[in-house]
Structure 1
Amino acid sequence: MKTLYETFREVYGEGGEIRSFFSPGRVNLIGEHTDYNGGHVFPCSLSIGTYAVARKRKDNLIRFYSLNFKTQGVMTVDSTSLAYDAEHDWANYPKGVVSIFKESGYDVSGFDVLYFGNIPNGAGLSSSASIELATAVLLNELNHLHLEMVEMVKISQRAENEFVGVNCGIMDQFAIGMGKEKAAVLLDCNTLAYSYSPVVLEKASLVIANTNKRRGLADSKYNERRSECERALAKLQEHVSIQSLGDLTIESFEAHKHHITNPIDQKRAKHAVHENVRTIEAAKRLKAGEIEAFGQLMNESHVSLRDDYEVTGLELDALVEAAWSEEGVIGSRMTGAGFGGCTISIVEDQFLTSFQTNVAKTYKEKTGLTPEFYVVEIGAGAREINQLSEAL
C-alpha cells in the first residue's frame, strides 16, 4: 500500500484525500456452464485481486493509470461523454462502470485512480469483474451514494454486457461483490437467491494451476454450447413444463431425454442437469465438513465437462489427470469456460511441494508447457480498505 500511495502522488501530484479499495478475484469451486442454463454455481472470492487508490476531483475528468500496463500511461476521459474505445484497452472496464452509474441516474464526479492487480492475466480468475467492482465501490464511497452491494454487482455486469460487449452471466461480479472470508457462495443464477457454506480445509489448501495455454477457442465454443443447450431445452419444453435445464432433476431428465433427438445436444443437456444437481450436493457436503465427498464431486464435474460438455482439451485434462495421480489430492477439476485457463485442486498441506513439482513435470512432458501454481486463500468481497496509516 505504501508503494501504491507513493506512486499515486508521483503520477497525479500531492493534495486531496486519497482513499484505497480492494476487489478480489474469484474461482468457481464447482458448477461450470450451469449459469446460463438456469442452474447453480458455487464460487468463492480470493485473497488476490485488484487494488484501487483514488482521489475525487472537482470536475468531470477521469484519469486512469495501471501499474500492470505502465506503457499505456495515464488515460484521461470526460465522464460526460464516455464511449468504448479499443485504444483504451483495459480502461474500458472501469469506464463502462462509470457510464452505467451515470446512465442509472447516479451523480458521480471525476476522479484520479491508480490500479494494481495481482491476478494473473488471462487465467480465468476474473480480473475484468474484479476491476469493475473495485471501480463500483470507489464510486459509491467517493460520491456517498449508499448503494447496496447487489446493486453494484448488477451495474458491473451491465457494464461488461452493454459497454464492453461481453455477454457474461452474473456469477463473476456476484462472487466478487458478495464474497465472504472462508466461505463459498451457492448462487441460483435465475433468482439470485444465495447461501454461504463455510470452507474449512483442515490441513489442506486450495491450489489454482494455470495451464498457460491461450484460450483462443473459449469464446466461439462458449456460444456454440449455449446454442446446443437452447436447442435441447426447446425440445424438452414441447413435453415438460420447465423454464430452464436447471429446473430438471436427474430422474426427470432421464425420463424425457429421448425427446432431444440430436445426440450432441442431449450430451450437453445431460451435463447441465447433472452438474446443477452436483453443485447443490457439493454445497451441502462442504457445509457438513465432508471434504472427501466434496472432492469426489469435483472429480465427477471434470469428467462431465470432458466427456459430455467437451470443453476441457488436452492441457486441462493433462493437468487434472496429473493432479489425480498425486498423493494428498482430495479433488481436482477444470474451472472457468474451458479450452485453457485454470484448474482448481484441494491438496493436503504436507503434499503441497511435491504436488507442484510432480504435476509440473508430468504436465510439461505431455504438453510442452510450464504451469503456474497459486496456493490461495478465500478472502472477503470488494470493499474500501483503510491501510494508509498502517502503510506510512
Structure 2
Amino acid sequence: MEISATGRLEVRITPADVGKRVSVRRLGETGAGLEKFTDTVGVLTSWDGGVLMITRRDGERVSIPESSLVAGKVVPAAPARRRGPAATYPELAHAAARAWQPVESERLGEWELRAAVGAGPREAPRAGVAAGPREGFTRRANSVLPLGDPGLPLDAALAAVRRWYGERGLPARVQTATGAEGTQELLCSELERRGWVREVTAEVWTGALAPVADRAEGAGVVLSRSADEAWLARYQRKGVSEVALRVLSGGPSVWFASVPGAGGGEPPAAIGRCVVDGRWAGFAAVEVDPGRRRQGLATEVMAALARRALDEGASAAWLQVETENEAGRALYAALGFTPHHAYHHYRAPEEPEAPSGAERL
C-alpha cells in the first residue's frame, strides 16, 4: 500500500486512472472492536457515482464504495513471470486463433469476426449423427477476436457483430481476456454494462517444450496428420461434423496422437492434438479412457507430440484449460506449465421481439 512520509496510508488513485492496474485497501466489516481491511488488485474499469469497479486477473469484478477506501496506488501492468517462456497476450491470442481456424472470417477494423458452420440453417452432420442446433463448432472458432480498434464506436461495432452472426444463424459472441498486460478488462466491463453474458471462463497456460518431451518415452503413441474414426471415437465432442473436422485439421502444422486400446475395434486409450506454429506448440484434446487414467497415458501423449514439435523448431508450448478441470490443471502444473491469462466468452443478450405489426428500427 502507499504510505506517506508520516507513516499514514494514502489513496493515490483518481478516476483518471481508469484502465490502469491498481492495488487498493478498503475498510470492511468490523468486529470485536477491530477494524478489518480487504486488499484488491486488478484493473480499475470504472469509477462512477462514488463506486469503483475493479476487474481481477480471473475476470471477477469487485465493486468498492469510494467511502471505504483506506489506501490505493497504481501498480505495474502485470506481475513479473518467474519461469516459463516470455509471451505477450496478443502473441498467444494469435497463436490460439490459428490453432482453431474458422471456416470463414471478416475484419471489422482490428477485430476478426470468425465463424465455423456449414451452409443452411443447420450444420450438416456426419453420417449417422442427428442434426443439432446451429451453434457452430467450438466457441473459439465462432466468436469475435477483438485485438485492437474496431474502427467504430463500441455500440456500432457490437451492432455490426450482431448482424454478421445473425446472418449466419449464430449467436453473437466476443472472446476477451484478463490478467496480463494488454488484455481487455475495460472491454469486459463495457460488455457487462450492456447486458452481454459471460458463458465460459478458462485459462491459457504456457511452459517450456523440452521438459515435456523428456517426461516419457511414448513408444506406444501413434502420430498422424488426420483424425481418423478411432481418434474421433475417443474425442469428448460427440457427433463431429464435417465442419468440425475442418476446424480440428486446420492450423499451420497439425498432429493427432493416440494410444491404441487394449483390444481390436476399441477406441484409443488416450488421444491428443498439437498445432505447431513457429516457436509455439499448442496442445488440445488430451483425453484418456476413464478406466485407464492415472497410468501416465496423458503424459505419454503430450511427450510424443512435444518431441515432434521440437523436431519442427518449436521451443515453447501453450494450452487452454477450464478452471473446473482440476485433474488437467494438476497434470499441466506437474509438466511445468503456469497460468498466463484468463479468457472469457461473452454472448449477446437476447433482443426483445417487436410487437406484432410494429416496424423494428
For the criterion TM > 0.5, the same-fold answer is no
In terms of fraction of residues, the more strand-rich structure is: 2
In terms of fraction of residues, the more helix-rich structure is: 1
* TM-score normalised per structure 1: 0.28
* Structure with larger RCO (C-alpha < 8 A, sep 6+): 1
